[in-house]
Amino acid sequence: MAAPRTATAEAVPPPRLWDPLVRLTHWGIAFVVLANGLVNKGGSLVHVSLGWAVMALLLSRLVWGVLGPYEARFSAFPPNPVAAARHLGQLISGRVRRYPSHNPAGALAIYAFWTLLAAVIVTGLVLTGGATPMQVAADKAAVASGDWSALIREDEGDEGDSPLREVAEEAHEVASNLLLVLAALHVAGVFVEGRAMRRNLVAPMLFGERRR
């Protein structure tokens, strides 16, 4: 009996369609990052709601990196700076190797993106005191009805945690801006690599590619 074939970059072609959870988390996170980049009012109900939504999406993707299909698992695209540099060299020369999951340069970008996203989420929780969207909505409704106790509690918390909040606020802003820069680089990378490979790299993340 022949030995089973190992899933290598040569043996397994790139996915023609990513699984539903990978697609959901990918586009969901992209939407939230872009939306919160445009919604600059920190602490607003929309901002906080999007923050909790992206936390759920990120946690789901991280769990799926362990339990999901082969191409979605962390083991399929481990962070490897040497391989990433080699891949960029191949991209410049026009001889791009195909991978069964994310290419090494894309993998590094993904881990960097997730790290920055986690930093934004954690610092956001610090800045809001871990308030859920329901609590934020209740506080705003109380203020609208003339009950200022919610604002008084917030001010007292700000005075007590001033140094921590200052650091968290600075880190939150820096990480958020870096996320937008990394997202722009990701879009540019997808375009360049798609041209080099003569393949639509966006289609597998949407509805899949038709087999020729």
Phi and psi based region of residue 199 (left: phi greater than 0; alpha: psi -120 to 50; beta: remaining): beta
> Hey, CA dihedral for 9, 10, 12, 18, is it positive or negative?
positive
- Nearest of 94, 96, 87, 158 to residue 128 by alpha carbon: 158
pLDDT at 94 over 50: yes
198: left (phi over 0), alpha (psi -120 to 50) or beta: left
pLDDT at 196 over 80: no
Q: Give the CB-side neighbour count of residue 129, counting CA atoms within 13 A.
A: 15
Mean pLDDT of 4-29: 74
Among 14-23, 26-35, 85-94, name the most confident range.
26-35
- How many Å apart are CA 16 and CA 52, to the nearest integer? 31
Which two structure tokens, joined as six digits, stand for 64?
């799926």
The residue extents of the domains of the chain are: 20-80+107-186
Helix crossing, 20-38 with 45-67: angle to 10°?
150
